[in-house]
Structure formats: C-alpha cells, structure tokens
Chain A
Amino acid sequence: MAVGEVMRMEIPAGGDMSVTSPELHVLAVDDSIVDRKVIERLLRISACKVTTVESGARALQYLGLDGDKGASGLKVNLIVTDYSMPGLTGYDLLKKIKESSVFREIPVVIMSSENILPRIEQCLREGAEDFLLKPVKLADVKRIKELIMRNEAEDCKTLSHSNKRKLSEYIDDASSPSSSSTHGDSSAKDFPSSKRMKSEDEKFSSLL
C-alpha cells in the first residue's frame, strides 16, 4: 500500500468496498508539550490526521463523552494516550472509552516511559490495543498504524457480509404486497436512502 493510501473506513449504501481515502484520524493525548509535538509529527509523517490534546478531560470533551455535546467534527479512528497524566490517567481514559457504547470500538494505545509489566497487563486487560514504551519512534507508529488498518479492514469485511445479508432481507420485505413502495420492483435502487443503511451499520457495529 503506498504512503497516503488508506482503507475506506465507512460502508456506503451499496456495501461497496472500494479503496479510497480518508486517512486515519488520531487523537493524541499527552500532558507534555514536547511529547505532543513529537507524537504529532510521527503521526503526520505516517500519513495520519492528528488532533492533540493535553489531558484526559480534554480528550473526553473532544469526543463529547463528558456530558456536554461533542465538539469534534471528525470521526476518530485511533486514540493514543500517555499513561501518567495529572487528573485522569491514560488508564482512566481507556476505561471511560471502553465503557461508552458509542466509542468503545475506537482502538486505544497507551504510551508510557515506564516498563511496568502489571501496568501493561492491566491496560491490555481493559481493552487497550497496544502499549508503547517511550520515547516513541517512527517504527512504533508505523507498526500501530498497520495494526489498526488491518483490524479496520477485517471489520469492514465482516460488516460488508452482514450488509449483503440485510440487503437481501430488505429486498424480500420490500417485494411483499404490503410494501408501501410506489414502485413494483424491489431492486436496490429503490432503497429509501443511504440513511437507512447507515443506521443498520451503526446498530450492527454497536453489537460488535
């Protein structure tokens, strides 16, 4: 895969799996301004969109998980967070994200300057995708990106199969006499709108 080419993240109405952009959007959380600058560059150079925030609380705010309406416009595909932060630690943030029905699917990677095995295990048990030892290098970011892309590709495949099944179920329903469709035939183009398929996707992905 060439630099900049990314797997498509969302399934369009027809379930088509063509490979196009958008890039991964990563939310990076770290209280150190030096580390934020470095991680941002590491991610940008790896062809990711990056948003950096300085605390777990800010991260939750960005995602809209703090009670208030979400500030973020762009969907987040990956969260990379420092472990030791004042206030909400990276672990606390991880837990909050995994407890959320809306955001639990977002992969979370923890970074730490300390190689403490029980800490690593605790994070992985809580659902962290991976654990990076600081200082973070380009090779680490490349590895994480590949891991996330692979997982997303697998999820897309699973969803695509499910969509095909739902598609045929819908066609069967639509072709019944009680259907409110004004047209007689039940081809895919008679679907009300892509909104219907989108909500099916969302329902399905929350079950994953």
Chain B
Amino acid sequence: MNTVVAKLQRQFQDYLVSLYQQGFLDNQFTELRKLQDEGTPDFVAEVVSLFFDDCSKLINSMSRSLERPENVDFKQVDSGVHQLKGSSSSVGARRVKNVCISFKECCDVQNREGCLRCLQQVDYEYKMLKTKLQDLFNLEQQIVQAGGAIPQVNIN
C-alpha cells in the first residue's frame, strides 16, 4: 500500500516539476496550489476549468473578428488578447501568456496574418496545457484514492 502511494506521489512530483521546467507553468500556479486544502481539494481544477472555458470563448470571438480581411475589428481582438493575457497570468499558464504578448504586438500594428498565426498558437497552447493538467489532476485523484496526501512540491 505504502509503496503504491509513494510511487504515485513520486510520479506526481516529477510530472509537476517537468511542467514548470518545460515552461507550461510559472510561479502563479504555485500560488494557486497554496490556496487549495482538504476543505477545497478541487480549487485549482475549478479555476483552470474556468480559464479553459474563457480561452475557448475568447478564441472563438477573436476568430470571428479576424475572419474577413477587409473588415477586421482590431479593437475587439485587442480586448480579447488583453483578457486572455490577464487570465493566463492569473493561473500561471506561462506559454499561453507568452503567446498573448506576441499576439498583442501583431494587433497593435494591425497585422492580420500575424494575428491569425498567434490565434492558432494560443489555441494549440491552451489545449496542450489542458491535456497536461488533466493528467496531473488524474494523478492527484489516484493518490487520494490510494489513501495518500498530495505532496507539497517546491519549485526552485
């Protein structure tokens, strides 16, 4: 029993550390984990779920704004990028946030092609992160079901 839990905990720890090392997550994700406890074990999962819904919604509306080359509403796109940058920053979604920085630059100079590329990239990044975090939360669940505690992981 103990070794099963220990093994899962190890897996969880390694996986989480790798997500930071590969740049998917930053310190703000660590801050969110601090806010989770036995009383609110799903807090982080709930916040990121809201974030992914937000991504989907914003990407759809920006896509619509960028659709027709002769009639791009760059103000709307800029507003969408601003919101996406904000929420990705609030959850520690580092790669998504970084794409938003480039995205904003394309918007500022009204570069539709650049915006479309960034839109595609941000779509890819949020979906990638969603998959990664789903794997992480699955590991968490397995640990809890095996009677173990979620390890505190120190990221340096």
Q: Do A and B bind each other?
A: yes
Q: Please list the residues of chain A having a beta carbon within 8 angstroms of any beta carbon in chain B.
A: 32-35, 37-38, 41-42, 45, 84, 86, 113, 134-138
**Contact with A32, one of B28, B43, B90, B92 (Cβ below 8 angstroms):** B90
Residue in A41, A84, A134, A138 whose CB lies within 8 Å of B89:
A134
Decide: A84 near B82, CB < 8 A? Known: A32-B90, A38-B47, A45-B35: yes
B46 within 8 A of partner (CB): yes
Q: Which of B43, B83, B91 contacts A41 (CB 8 A)?
A: B43
Per-residue A-contact encoding for B1-44, CB less than 8 Å = 1, 0 else: 00000000000000000000000000010011011000010010
B54 within 8 A of A: yes
Q: Which of B31, B50, B87 contacts A138 (CB 8 A)?
A: B31
Q: Is residue B86 contacting chain A, with contact meaning CB distance below 8 A?
A: yes
B82 x A135 contact (CB < 8 A)? no
A113 to B90, CA, bound (A): 9
Measured between C-beta atoms, what is the minimum distance from B39 to chain A in Å? 10
B51 within 8 A of A: yes
The residues of B that contact A135 with a CB separation of less than 8 Å are: 28, 31, 89-90, 92
CA distance A119 to B142 in the complex (A): 47
Q: Are A34 and B50 also in contact (CB < 8 A) when A41-B40, A134-B89 are?
A: yes
- Closest residue of chain A to B53 (Cβ to Cβ) is A33
Q: What is the CA–CA distance of A38 and B31 in the complex, to the nearest angstrom?
A: 10
Known A135-B28, A135-B89; judge A37-B47 contact (CB<8 A): yes
Given contacts A34-B54, A42-B35, A135-B90, 11 further A-B contacts (CB under 8 A): A32-B87, A32-B90, A34-B50, A34-B51, A34-B87, A37-B50, A41-B43, A136-B90, A137-B28, A137-B31, A138-B35
Within the complex, what minimum Cβ distance (angstroms) separates A90 from chain B? Answer: 13
Q: Which residue of A lies closest to B55 (CB)?
A: A34
Quick one: given A138-B34, A138-B35, are A33 and B54 in contact (CB under 8 Å)? yes
- Docked pose: A33 CA to B48 CA in angstroms: 11
With a CB–CB cut-off of 8 A, which chain B residues contact A138? 31, 34-35
A-B pair number, CB within 8 angstroms: 51
Is B95 part of the contact surface with A, judged by Cβ < 8 Å?
no
Contact assessment for B31 and A113 in the assembled complex, using a CB-CB cutoff below 8 Å: no
**Closest CB-CB distance, B73 to chain A, in whole Å?**
15
Query: Inside 8 A of B79's CB, which chain A residues have their CB?
Result: 86
Q: Which A residue sits closest to B32, measured CB to CB?
A: A38
B87: chain A residues within 8 A (beta carbon): 32, 34-35
Cα distance A45–B39 in the bound complex, in angstroms: 11
How far does the alpha carbon of A134 sit from the alpha carbon of B31 in the complex, in Å? 12
User: What are the residues of chain A within 8 A of B32 when measuring CB–CB?
Assistant: 38
Query: How many angstroms between the C-alpha atoms of A37 and B87 in the bound complex?
Result: 11
Q: Taking the nearest CB of chain B, how far is it from the CB of A69, in angstroms?
A: 33
Q: Are B35 and A113 in contact (CB under 8 A)?
A: no
The A-contacting residues of B in range 64-111, CB under 8 angstroms, are: 79, 82-83, 85-87, 89-92
A133 to chain B, nearest CB (A): 10
CB within 8 A of B86: which of A45, A86, A113, A137?
Answer: A113
CA distance A84 to B82 in the complex (A): 10
